[in-house]
Structure 1
Amino acid sequence: MAGVPSEIPLPDPGSASASASGPRRSRSPGARLSVEPILFLSMLALVLQYPLSTQYIFHRLSAELGFSGNRSRGCNSSGGPEAELEQTVETMTAHWNLYINLGGFAVGLFSATLLGPWSDHVGRRPILILPAIGLSMQAAIYLIVMYQKLPVSYFLIGRLLSGLLGDFNTILAGCFSYIADVSDKQSRTFRVAVLEACLGIAGMFGSIIGGQWSKAQGFINPFWLVLALNLATAAYAFTFVRESVTVKGPVKLFTMEHYKSVYRLYTQGQETVRRHRLCLYALSLFVLVTVHFGVKDILILFELSSPLCWHSDLIGYGSAVEHLTYLSSLLGLKVLQLCLEDSWIAEIGLVSNMAGLVIFSMAASSSVMFTGYGVRFLAMATTPVIRAKLSKLADVTEQGALFASVACVESACSLVSTLIFSSLYPATLGFLKGFTFLFGATMLLIPAGIIGILGWGERRSQYNQLEGTPRGSTVTINADSSSNQNRQISQAVS
């Protein structure tokens, strides 16, 4: 055809010009740094806190039960009363961790789904500040317990208090909602991937700092850093973050309407096809994150025992390489976006993930194990694609409700993964030690199939829409989740 003009970008549906009720979200294309420091600081505090509190509980219970903790570990076998006592301490520590996490999850589930939709009306800054304050109060209570040597059950008080104010999941939801507010569809996938990379970088630094500092000075001094990081998160959100919701109104916080908005997001209020896509992408994210958490739960146990018998230094190197996957995935995503649609990038990430897990299942030496880590260099490219697709399918006034529900889904994933993978791993040691990794790779076929089918359907829908348009007319193709932009294509008669 002749006379086809160049492509003219349409206004993003979430922009001010697309809103019939006036401007509701601010667009700041030039502001490349917004909530990324918040997620980095909060994640760094979380990565420091969890192993430190677990180790403190272990040592407190060891002292109470009279376990010296000097028994040989790794591949050296031992038995007797000392081994039984250590097993008792490990079981009690695991139980207390379970009680504390379950308490925080139960309370945080209701607060996150309350605060997320609330932020769609009052703004994002409150749900970035309140959880940071709650996490600061939790760290302060933990310090009091350590200094006063109170029973470890008092840790539960701090965890519940943090859950009431939203916990880390609400910060996660607030950061992703904020990025959805200030980015257009062309840049949203990469901006979400940057947030994912912040999680990985913080995890890498937290693992190194926490391990070395606690080894040198114990558990109390590093916890002061946890408190300082959470306070810095609240201060940064209050001082430097510009509100992305520009039109706000007085809305009650404690109302069932917020929970109903999450329910309506997946059941009504939009066309059936788009609602089904939303549910299927959420299912894909659930399976993917469940496998991710489940593999992390058993990876250290797999490396500690025969035939690898890794010591703490190799485990640290492995953890560092694992967190570098976030950065390599970010770079890979940026490069692949130059020539591929997001759906194809997600599929490549899943293939990388599955291939690495298959190599893990056969690893009998350190070189093979690190090869598995290397093959998974694009494993984290899938989650930002799914988050971006979910965001593009939701209305501009539903981003808080969407990411609040996603945060709750990920919290549920941590519990489900523990139940599945931690139970499956010991049950399959007798016939194939790496079976759990193969099981995880097989589970990833579910999101691979869903993303492939949805991506094909989206491309076919656009093609049919274009083919059915009379020549000489103008058609607007809304590439909401299969590409990175909306285009207006004008067809002229030759």
Structure 2
Amino acid sequence: MNEPDTVTILDHVHGPEFGTEDQEPTATFSARSKKPPFSCFRPVTVEPVLFFSTFSIALQGPLFTQYLWERFSEDAGHNSSRRSECNSTSDPLQKDIETLVAHWNLYINLGGFLLGLLVVPFLGSWSDKAGRRPLLIVPSLGLALETVVYLVVMYTRLPVGFFLLGRMISGISGDFNCILASSFTYIADTSDRSSRTFRVAILEACLGLSGMLASIIGGKWMRAQGYITPCWLVLATRLASALYSYLFVCESVSVDPSVRLFSTSHHKALWKLYSTGGSQSTGTVHKYKLWLYTCCFFVVVGVHSGCRGIFVLFELSSPLCWGSELIGYGSAALHLAYLSSLLGLKVMTRCLEDSWVALVGLLSNMAGLLVFTAANTTPLVFTGYGLLLFFMTTTPVIRSKLSKLVAPSEQGALFASIACVETLCSLVGSSVFNAIYPATLHFMKGFPFLFGAIILLIPFGVIR
């Protein structure tokens, strides 16, 4: 029997039930395209890739910030233990070091984010025809090379400006946001509308579980052996992510061998998606929904990225004066909210619409940030972390809503645009909050958290 001219992807995934109102329109590919091996789909697919990658990010982030603190403290002749000076909230040298660390965090992150902003959009659209697996493997290798550069700088005590080189290598290969986008696109390829929100939430929970483990391990390990040894684990997990993607992740789309990587058509696909609302567009309202949900995603993730970038600085300095172990527990408490959000989402979706679940997440986020605004003791800080219990229920709902607005053949372009927005969120959030923090230290140390809680009112008023 001859092979049919077209291959219906969702028929392979969902069987003969295709065609109900809860499922998307059929996506077809030419007969010359290589048929994807749908028979090798498993219950666990890209989750380990995201787990390993997030583990490495969560382990490296606090280590890097604390390394910069210690490095600048030594250069300035400041007591690296910070115990005697930390009790004085008016120590000008400590404030100079805080400002210097915040600014260098900003400069180094900018290098990776700007390159990622250029690279990620067309890579995602390209993956609609070239496959998802390359966008899991290449960024993992780029992150591994970044870690190699960081290790060289730490071992040889090169100027901290060389950290920028590592971030640029990671950025040009797609960075973590490319892995994130590819993972969510893969889930969109292999799930139906009814299960998509929860499948997306499972990926979000992988972010939290890996971050929690990395935070606990990193704090204790750094206290025992310093900054360099844990970085070797960062390198190992990034290589493991690339190896797992190569060996165990099956392709989820039909691969067109003739597709070119460097083509303006990939950017045109993104432009068409947002200018017309996609092939499933039913009019202007459909297009506006796409834009409004994207803007909500921008605000929510921007606040998450900005606040996460200053939590460690907030805890290192007076009056808290936390050490590496407490910082690890604090970061673990933050990432534990990913798991509690998954459980909360599973329970709440039984009796509430997705939009109401997102609003509960926003209320949780705002409540936690308001406590951080006035947190000057360790119990208050952990109270703030506790109130962030459901703060991660918002983003999976928005991702799922966006995914349901476009056709299966546009999922790569959509999640490429979301990755682009996420990169911009990290860029803007990191820039704004790292700039606000040193500028407001003299009158209100927790002002950035208050600012974040206020601007979350924007998506709160939009999501329905």
1:185–1:212 Cα change, 3 Å: same
Match of 1:105 among 100, 113, 117: 113
Q: What is the rounded CA distance, in whole Å, between the counterparts of 1:314 and 1:132 in structure 2?
A: 29
Please report how far the alpha carbon of residue 310 of structure 1 lies from its aligned counterpart in structure 2 after TM superposition: 5.3
Please report how far the alpha carbon of residue 374 of structure 1 lies from its aligned counterpart in structure 2 after TM superposition: 2.4
1:383–1:73 Cα change, 3 Å: farther
Q: What is the rounded CA distance, in whole Å, between the counterparts of 1:78 and 1:287 in structure 2?
A: 32
Is 1:267 aligned with 2:278? no
Q: What is the rounded CA distance, in whole Å, between the counterparts of 1:161 and 1:427 in structure 2?
A: 31
Please report how far the alpha carbon of residue 152 of structure 1 lies from its aligned counterpart in structure 2 after TM superposition: 3.0
Note if contact 2:222-2:324 (Cα within 8 Å) is conserved in structure 1: no
Match of 1:77 among 88, 96, 105: 88
The residue that corresponds to 1:346 in the other structure is 358
The residue that corresponds to 1:357 in the other structure is 369
Please report how far the alpha carbon of residue 247 of structure 1 lies from its aligned counterpart in structure 2 after TM superposition: 4.9
Letter in 1 for 2:274: Y
Aligned length: 441
1:93–1:242 Cα change, 3 Å: same
Letter in 2 for 1:390: L
SS, match of residue 346 in structure 1? helix
Letter in 2 for 1:448: F
1:317–1:343 Cα change, 3 Å: same
1:335–1:25 Cα change, 3 Å: farther
Is 1:141 aligned with 2:112? no
The residue that corresponds to 1:394 in the other structure is 406
Note if contact 1:14-1:181 (Cα within 8 Å) is conserved in structure 2: no
Note if contact 2:181-2:415 (Cα within 8 Å) is conserved in structure 1: yes
Q: What is the rounded CA distance, in whole Å, between the counterparts of 1:386 and 1:30 in structure 2?
A: 26
Letter in 1 for 2:113: F
1:261–1:431 Cα change, 3 Å: same
Letter in 2 for 1:172: L
Q: Normalising by structure 2, what TM-score?
A: 0.85
The residue that corresponds to 1:40 in the other structure is 51
The residue that corresponds to 2:11 in the other structure is none
Cα distance per residue 1:341-377 (max 9 Å; x no partner): 2111111211222233333335465444433332321
Match of 2:20 among 2, 10, 19: 10
Letter in 2 for 1:258: H
Please report how far the alpha carbon of residue 102 of structure 1 lies from its aligned counterpart in structure 2 after TM superposition: 1.3
1:363–1:46 Cα change, 3 Å: closer
The residue that corresponds to 2:63 in the other structure is 52
Note if contact 1:293-1:414 (Cα within 8 Å) is conserved in structure 2: yes
Please report how far the alpha carbon of residue 296 of structure 1 lies from its aligned counterpart in structure 2 after TM superposition: 2.6
Note if contact 2:116-2:423 (Cα within 8 Å) is conserved in structure 1: no
Cα distance per residue 1:121-141 (max 9 Å; x no partner): 111001101111111122222
Is 1:445 aligned with 2:457? yes
Q: What is the rounded CA distance, in whole Å, between the counterparts of 1:430 and 1:142 in structure 2?
A: 33
The residue that corresponds to 1:159 in the other structure is 167
Match of 2:293 among 249, 262, 281: 281
The residue that corresponds to 2:388 in the other structure is 376
* Structure 1 stretch displaced more, 123-132 or 419-428: 419-428
Please report how far the alpha carbon of residue 316 of structure 1 lies from its aligned counterpart in structure 2 after TM superposition: 3.7
Q: What is the rounded CA distance, in whole Å, between the counterparts of 1:145 and 1:433 in structure 2?
A: 32
Gaps of 5+ in 2: 1-16
Q: What is the rounded CA distance, in whole Å, between the counterparts of 2:72 and 2:366 in structure 1?
A: 39
Q: What is the rounded CA distance, in whole Å, between the counterparts of 1:33 and 1:74 in structure 2?
A: 50
Matches within 5 A, 1:247-262: 247-262=255-270
1:278–1:74 Cα change, 3 Å: farther
The residue that corresponds to 2:10 in the other structure is none
SS, match of residue 417 in structure 1? helix
Note if contact 2:27-2:409 (Cα within 8 Å) is conserved in structure 1: no
Q: What is the rounded CA distance, in whole Å, between the counterparts of 1:220 and 1:305 in structure 2?
A: 23
The residue that corresponds to 1:227 in the other structure is 235
Is 1:417 aligned with 2:429? yes
Note if contact 2:139-2:176 (Cα within 8 Å) is conserved in structure 1: yes
* Structure 1 stretch displaced more, 58-67 or 208-217: 58-67
1:74–1:294 Cα change, 3 Å: farther
The residue that corresponds to 1:172 in the other structure is 180
Identity %: 55
* Structure 1 stretch displaced more, 42-51 or 328-337: 42-51
Letter in 2 for 1:267: S
SS, match of residue 250 in structure 1? coil
Note if contact 2:59-2:214 (Cα within 8 Å) is conserved in structure 1: yes
1:150–1:437 Cα change, 3 Å: closer
* Structure 1 stretch displaced more, 36-45 or 129-138: 129-138
Note if contact 2:223-2:325 (Cα within 8 Å) is conserved in structure 1: no
Q: Normalising by structure 1, what TM-score?
A: 0.80
Please report how far the alpha carbon of residue 9 of structure 1 lies from its aligned counterpart in structure 2 after TM superposition: 7.4
1:211–1:309 Cα change, 3 Å: closer
SS, match of residue 389 in structure 2? coil
Note if contact 1:47-1:203 (Cα within 8 Å) is conserved in structure 2: yes
Please report how far the alpha carbon of residue 449 of structure 1 lies from its aligned counterpart in structure 2 after TM superposition: 1.4
* Structure 1 stretch displaced more, 60-69 or 139-148: 60-69
Q: What is the rounded CA distance, in whole Å, between the counterparts of 2:358 and 2:85 in structure 1?
A: 37
Please report how far the alpha carbon of residue 275 of structure 1 lies from its aligned counterpart in structure 2 after TM superposition: 1.4
The residue that corresponds to 1:121 in the other structure is 129
Letter in 1 for 2:60: Q
Q: What is the rounded CA distance, in whole Å, between the counterparts of 1:250 and 1:141 in structure 2?
A: 35
The residue that corresponds to 1:205 in the other structure is 213
The residue that corresponds to 2:12 in the other structure is none
Letter in 1 for 2:373: S
The residue that corresponds to 1:240 in the other structure is 248
1:424–1:132 Cα change, 3 Å: closer
Q: What is the rounded CA distance, in whole Å, between the counterparts of 1:426 and 1:222 in structure 2?
A: 29
